[in-house]
Amino acid sequence: MPEQASLLQDGVDRFRTAFGSIEDEIQRVQKDLRARRRSLEKQLNASRRDLERRTRRLRSDLSKNTTVKQLESLRKNATQQIEQSVDGVLSALQIASKTDVQRIDRKISQLNRKLRALDGKRRPNGRAS
């Protein structure tokens, strides 16, 4: 019987030792993972800053490029011509453009405010004050 107790105690001692080493190992792995995470974040931030710097430089170079300037100028001219053509077609068909509708809407809103102000000045019996 003492041999069984000794064997059991020996098993319990080995389990405690293994359990203690597992906790140490888990803490070591967590520490390594935190260090790797910080390292990867630093690398990612450095890559992001480098990409932003290169993008700014590329945009600057492109904005100085004569071909890009010409294309931008052509785009602006084409936009103006298209807008003029659309306005001409809408006028010929007697259709209000978006800006016309917005202008009319503003006028109607102003008139509605004035009417509400006048209605507020009226007496409850319907007569003006």
pLDDT at 123: 56
What is the pLDDT, as a whole number, of residue 35? 96
- Residue 50: per-residue pLDDT: 96
pLDDT at 128 (0 to 100): 53
- The pLDDT of residue 23 is 84
pLDDT at 94: 87
Residue for token pair 């993008």: 55
The pLDDT value given to residue 79: 95
Helix axes 2-64, 66-92, angle to 10 degrees: 80
Q: Which pair of structure tokens corresponds to residue 36? A: 């790797």
Question: What local confidence, expressed as pLDDT, does residue 91 receive?
Answer: 85
Residue 65 identity (one-letter amino acid): N
The confidence score (pLDDT) of residue 119 equals: 87
- Give per-10-residue mean pLDDT for the chain (129 aa): 74 82 88 95 96 95 90 95 90 86 95 91 61
The tokens of 34 are what? 């935190």
Residue 121 confidence (pLDDT): 81
